[in-house]
Amino acid sequence: MPAGGGAAEITVHVLGPVEVRIEGTSVRLDRPLERALAARLALAAGASVPDDRLARDLWGDTDLNRPTARLQVLASRLRGSLGSVGPAALTRSGGGYALAATTPDLAAAEAASERLQAAVRSGDHAAVRSAASEAVAHWRGPALADLRAIPYALGEGERLDAWLLELRIEGLAADLELGGGTGPEAVAELQGLATEHPLHERLRGLLAVSYYRSGRQADALETLSTLRTALADELGVDPSPATAELELRLLRQEPSLLAAPPPPVAHTPDQRLPVPATSFVGRDDDVADLLERVVNDELVTLLGPPGAGKSRLAIEVARRVERPVTLIELAPLTATDDLSGTFLRAAGLDRGPGDPLQRTAAALSGRLVVVDNAEHVVEATATAVEALRRYGTQLAVIVTSQRPLLISEERVYEVPTLSTEAAAKLFDDRRLAGSGPLDPQLVDDVVAAVDRLPLGVELAAGLTRTLSVSQLAQRIHDRMRLLVGGSRIDGYRHTSLRAALDWSHDLLDPVEQIVLRRAAIFAGGFTLEAAEAVLPDDLLDAGGVAPALIGLADRSLVAVRSAGDGKRFVLLETVRDYAADRLREAGEQSDVLARALRWAREYIEAKDYLMTHSAEALEEVMYEWTNVIALLEAAVPSAHGGLALELATWTDEILISRGRYQDCIRFYEAFVDAPDAEDAIRAEALSNLSYAYVMVGEVERAAGVLVRAGEISARIGNDVQLMRVLYHRGIVAIQRGLPMEALSPLRSGRALAGQLGKMMAHSAFQDAEAIALEYAGDLPGALALYEASLEADRAANNEHGLARVAGMATALIATGQIASAIECLDLAETHADRLGDPVALSDIHVGRGRVLLASGSLPAAIECFRSALSHPDVAESDLPGRMAQLDLADALLLAGAVDEARSLVSSVVASSPEHNLNWLVAQPLLALLALSAGDAPAAASLVASAAAEYDSRSFHWWPAVTRLDRARAGL
């Protein structure tokens, strides 16, 4: 740890094979996926990366089996590899992972690159050469060289290496400008790069100039001739005008080639272009790409959702291009207006004889034409632009639109949302000056809430006139009401997110409007089948959903993403908020919610997870998990409590397995008294609620709701629900520390499960009865039932049951069967990994810790117990967390770490009702703590009272009894 006790510095070096260092010391990560996860999260600069994005980056679109589960396992392993700093450094929040790490080599190269770009703009060639050399020096080889088999690393590595190439080229170009670049080393470097990148025109041009200045005119001309042939053969294009001009200058042997050429004449943009009042942030790569396309006289359509900054990007390109520019603004037009007149006026022409578009094309030849805001007149725009391209010469066109033109020469350019870093920089640039230092996490929260759309970021930054960034972050979820003001500068059409989205919405046909607003019910994206099940009613035929979604996707209001073997439609959060407002305004929210609740319940039922408990079935359910939980949340204040209660019972087992006990409690308490709920569902919900109460230590409340569940089950004569009540009565008795009292309801329930043919339930009863016998000290009886349950789960391939077999390991350890305990834990981990079951994985860590403790490996045992507590979704305040705390405290006492052990035990005792299970297990540890403090009388009193309590309850669980014997021996 660093001096002062702060967090250890983790650095990830990516410009070469990946290296992870803690406080400057290398950390060995043998598994490529661990290195890939560390590098991916470090590249996010501390921002949280959502599960679906992270899974695609690591495994690609074709292998997304259980992404959340696989990520949990991978993250757990990386935490372990990072040692003691892992749990604090690698965190999870908001449905994604974040790593507190930096990429110092990349940051240093970027800083040098920024100085390089500034020097390029100022014409300081010496500074360009120096900055390029500094930036290039940070590479240790190809970026992410050891991870190129990982999907994101391949693309990111190639991007970084392409950047490296451009840095090297800038340095070589500056060297030529300064009169160098003709020595053997410089020529050899240019030759090598040109061989590696035979179609790179600027590189070939530099090599030709270098040859020419070395007196090798034939080689210079041959270089450009080879380039011309390669471009024609491989791409079917001619060299750019700049390359053709250089070739002509070489043929003429122009004297200017022998000296540094004069700096380019500053480009005076067309006076029709609006002059932005603010800086341009975050699109440098896009500008560079588009400038190259303009040089090649391409037709490019910039596509993106409202607020993505399409117009600003087009204007910025136009301001930097080295050719005349004409801007044609289409926003004021209506669908019935004649575009030919608008194009004529833009070209400075009047109406006259001949084809107006042909005349326009002739007048605009040689120029860049920017056609802005074409989505509402896209068909007419396509006709006009096609005519410009047909009749004009050396004419480049950039169109901004939410829909493509769909003509042959068009190159669609998707304008992405800003990167997290660029969005944060834009926010900082636009916020009120002097409003204080920024908390990067708060800024990330704000820009993420507006989908990193430039318009949303600028509007949010403007609110810092009246709100602190902290206040803004707390309120930014209310986007549509907050982000209503903005710049009134001429040339900026949208002054709020609402205005931008209103514009787009009004262009939709009525069916598209219906589909858009109703699609807001899906928080996690949706399939076509889900949309066709939920969205239609008397106003919308199911057959109209697919065409409407295609239209919305064309307008960039809906994104289409690969998921498994199919496609999902996704709305940006800003668009979804807007659509939700429209849904409320239409008075359709309640009806759509009811249909969605039915769809979600039927979807889970159809996947058959609760019958098969297989990882494959769970994976299918988890595709829609975000939607399922969001629908339950939405139903809390609704009139559809009965439907929501039924859905909650179908989600119960998954929520419990992920440690989401409070969510279970909240949903059940919200819906269990719904007047439209069926009695059988209500009884099931109450029974499930009792288990959730048990897991958060509310045992008496659990007993109370079980009474009610039993009464309902008896009244309606439902044996299945009565079986559930018996199971949970046994669980409540166990958690009360009364294992013998648990046996009666568990045995009755097991018999009833057999009569009903519920074999998975029969196995669950066997497992619970084994736990009761183990707590009562009957290890042979417990192991016999554990074995019977295990064999039944194996026969049924009940992966949920097999993942929970870790509980058997403690009984095996107690009887000296260490090897069998390890086999048991390995089996459990296999299935817990497949299911992504964090509670089971935490229990496995505890089991492995107990094995290590019994084997005398105290430090390793302590790390296992810590891992159990650091596992995602396992809270220390819940039952699994409290038991892991007590195991860790015991190991720390053995290691002499008394203060930390005392803190852990005190926390458990303070949060546990007296005489319940956790309280009972803690008593021997209190006695051991008294002994460590030298208070023998207190220790003796605690030993005596614990022994009496254990005997009166027939509670003889091996770990607790072993600790009690240690305390007794210490006396």
Q: How far apart are CA 76 and CA 942, in angstroms?
A: 38
Q: What is the pLDDT of residue 689?
A: 95
Residue 52: CB atoms within 10 A of its CB come to 22
Average of per-residue pLDDT across 388-414: 88
Q: What is the pLDDT of residue 5?
A: 41
First to last CA, the chain: 38
Pair 396, 305 in one domain:
yes
Confidence of residue 873 (pLDDT cuts 50, 70, 90): low
- How much is the pLDDT for 817? 95
Are residues 425 and 410 part of one domain? no
- Give the confidence band of 26 by pLDDT, cuts at 50, 70, 90: confident
Q: Which of 466-480, 500-514, 709-723, 858-872 has the lowest mean pLDDT?
A: 466-480
- pLDDT of 684: 95
Q: Are strands 396-401 and 368-372 parallel, antiparallel or unpaired?
A: parallel
Q: Are residues 521 and 406 part of one domain?
A: no
**Residue 99 bridge partners (DSSP):** 90
Q: Does 533 fall in a domain?
A: yes
Looking at the fold, whether 313 and 358 belong to one and the same domain comes out as: yes
Co-location of 294 and 394 in the same domain = yes
Tell me the residue range of the domain where 558 lies.
510-587
In a domain, 534, yes or no: yes
When pLDDT is cut at 50, 70 and 90, the band that residue 2 belongs to is very low
The predicted structure's pLDDT at residue 228: 84
Q: How confident is the model at residue 496 (pLDDT cuts 50, 70, 90)?
A: low
Q: What is the pLDDT of residue 692?
A: 92
Among 465, 498, 531, the domain-final residue is: 498
Q: Give the confidence band of 356 by pLDDT, cuts at 50, 70, 90.
A: confident
- Judge whether residue 260 has pLDDT over 50: no
The token pair at 762 is 């029969």
Is 789 within a domain?
A: no
For the segment 820-834, the average pLDDT, to the nearest whole number, is: 91
Confidence grade of residue 583 (pLDDT, cut at 50, 70, 90): very high
Please state the separation of Cα 509 from the chain's center in Å.
Answer: 33
pLDDT of residue 500: 64
pLDDT over 50 at 921, yes or no? yes
Give dist(CA 386, CA 363) in Å, integer: 15
Q: In this predicted model, what pLDDT tens digit does every residue of 261-309 receive, in sequence order?
A: 433 333 333 445 665 556 677 778 888 889 888 888 899 999 887 777 8
pLDDT exceeds 50 at position 369: yes
Q: In this predicted structure, what is the pLDDT of residue 467?
A: 59
Residue 80: predicted pLDDT? 81
Predicted pLDDT at 7: 64
Average pLDDT, the chain: 83
Percent of the chain past pLDDT 70, that is, above it, reads 87
pLDDT at position 434: 47
445 in any annotated domain: yes
Q: What is the CATH number of the domain that holds 921?
A: 1.25.40
In a domain, 782, yes or no: no
DSSP letter string, 640-664: -HHHHHHHHHHHHHHHHHTT-HHHH
Percent of the chain with pLDDT over 90: 35
> What is the per-residue pLDDT across 519-528, written as a single tens digit (0 to 9) for each?
999 988 899 9
- C-beta pairs of 959-963 under 8 Å, 24+ apart in sequence: 959/810, 959/850, 959/887, 959/890, 959/921, 960/920, 960/921, 960/923, 960/924, 961/777, 963/890, 963/924, 963/925, 963/928
Say whether pLDDT at 403 is over 70: yes
pLDDT, tens digit, for every residue of 50-77?
877 788 888 776 555 556 667 777 888 8
pLDDT of 930 > 90? The answer is: yes
pLDDT, position 885 = 93
Instruction: Name every residue whose Cβ is closer than 8 Å to that of residue 319 and which is 6 or more positions away in sequence.
Output: 267, 269, 273, 325
Is the confidence at residue 953, as pLDDT, over 70?
yes
Same domain, 410 and 432: no
- Does residue 753 fall inside a structural domain? no
Average pLDDT of span 747-757: 95
Instruction: Please indicate, yes or no, whether residues 409 and 425 belong to a single structural domain of this protein.
Output: no
Assess whether 376 and 438 both reside in one domain: no
Reported as a single tens digit per residue, the pLDDT across 760-781 is 899 999 999 999 999 999 999 9
Region 500-515 average pLDDT: 81
pLDDT value for 648? 94
**How much is the pLDDT for 436?**
53
> In terms of Cα–Cα distance, which of 637, 619, 628 is closest to 596?
628
Q: Which of 128-142, 368-382, 421-435, 939-953 has the highest mean pLDDT?
A: 939-953
Tell me the C-alpha distance between 735 and 796, whole Å: 28
CA 528/CA 678 separation, integer angstroms: 31
> According to the model, what pLDDT value does residue 58 have?
84
Both tokens assigned to 483: 């982000």
H-only helix segments in 44-183 = 51-59, 67-81, 86-89, 104-122, 125-136, 151-177
Q: Give me the pLDDT at residue 278, please.
A: 60
What is the average per-residue pLDDT within 664-682?
94
548 domain residue, yes or no: yes
Residues 643-672 pLDDT 10s? 999 999 999 988 888 888 888 999 999 999
Q: Are residues 380 and 289 in the same domain?
A: yes
Q: How many domains does the chain have?
A: 4
Q: How far is CA 287 from CA 83, 317, 327, in A?
A: 43, 6, 17
Question: For the residues 799-824, what does the mean pLDDT come to?
Answer: 92
User: Is 955 domain-assigned?
Assistant: yes
Lowest mean pLDDT among 40-44, 240-244, 452-456, 830-834: 452-456
pLDDT of residue 336: 73
Q: Are residues 398 and 313 in the same domain?
A: yes
Weakest mean pLDDT among 89-93, 728-732, 942-946, 953-957: 89-93
Final residue of a structural domain among 539, 565, 587: 587
Which one of 384, 414, 444 terminates a domain?
A: 414
Q: Are 571 and 520 in contact (CB under 8 A)?
A: yes
Residues in the chain: 971
**408 shares a domain with 327:** yes
Q: What does the H/E/C string look like for 811-845? A: HHHHCCCHHHHHHHHHHHHHHHHHHCCHHHHHHHH
Per 3-state DSSP, what percentage of the chain is helix, strand, and coil (rounded to 5)?
65, 5, 30
Distance of alpha carbon 760 from alpha carbon 754, whole angstroms = 10
Same domain, 424 and 409: no
CATH number of the domain bearing residue 573 = 1.10.10.10
Cα gap 370→362, rounded to integer Å: 16
Among 434-443, 486-495, 573-582, 641-650, where is mean pLDDT lowest? 486-495
Q: Give the per-residue pLDDT at 563.
A: 65
